[in-house]
Chain A
Amino acid sequence: MKVAVQEGPFDAGAELDAFSHGRQQVGAVVSFTGIVRDRDGGLVRMEIEHYPGMTEKAIGEIAEAARARWDLADLLVIHRYGALPVGQPIMMVATAAAHRRAAFEAAEYLMDYLKSRAPFWKKEVTQTGAHWVEATPEDEDALSRW
């Protein structure tokens, strides 16, 4: 299991290759990569703040809960912080399991919990100013299905 909280960029393809490589009992690998998106035009960069210490702890707990719930061979979480330009990867999750259902469900579970239970805060810096991204009721609702 790999959990990385880092400022620098990562290569999602290389991470996925390394994660998938040489596994014997795994029939399914699912991955998700979140990318800085220019929603309304004019986004200069995304700034991500986090709570050092709690971030690693919270992600570790979310990952352990996923491993307890699904029969996973492995999982990967990478999440960046700092100033990220448009088009760059923000974060990535990958799951490996014998069958695809567990891999898909666990990846969605990880994403839903990382979104509203890992201490990250996004700020959009545009040409006209900066504002904190607000959590939506949908983010919270997404947890209720688990």
Chain B
Amino acid sequence: MIEIVYFAWVRERIGLPRERVETTAATVADLVDELRGREERYAAAFADVSALRVALDQELSEFDAPLSGVREVAFFPPMTGG
């Protein structure tokens, strides 16, 4: 089981802030493919991953990163702090 969290318009498009999913995805990109195949709202949110950022266990990461041992995956648009 892996915890997935969504922020900003990704959260709004998918319609929930977090969920636990059972997955065998080896990498973030594999997980994104699984999610895209679920429902239209996921396909819409993940249509262009170049517009998204990913964090693994609260550290910024890359879409080709492995998921082995990861407990929490976060998807969000580029940050706009400050």
Contacts and interface: CB of A to CB of B under 8 A. Distances in A.
B82 A115 contact: yes
B80 A122 contact: yes
A117 B79 CA distance: 6
Q: Which of B9, B11, B76, B81 has the most CB of A within 10 A?
A: B81
A133 B80 contact: yes
Interface residues of B, number: 17
B77 interface: yes
A49 B55 CA distance: 16
Nearest to A48: B81
Contacts, number: 74
Interface in B1-34: 5, 7-9, 11
Interface in B51-73: 55, 58-60
A54 B80 contact: no
Interface of B: 5, 7-9, 11, 55, 58-60, 74, 76-82
Please name the 4 residue pairs, one residue from A and one from B, whose CB atoms are nearest each other, closest first.
A120-B81, A115-B82, A135-B78, A54-B58
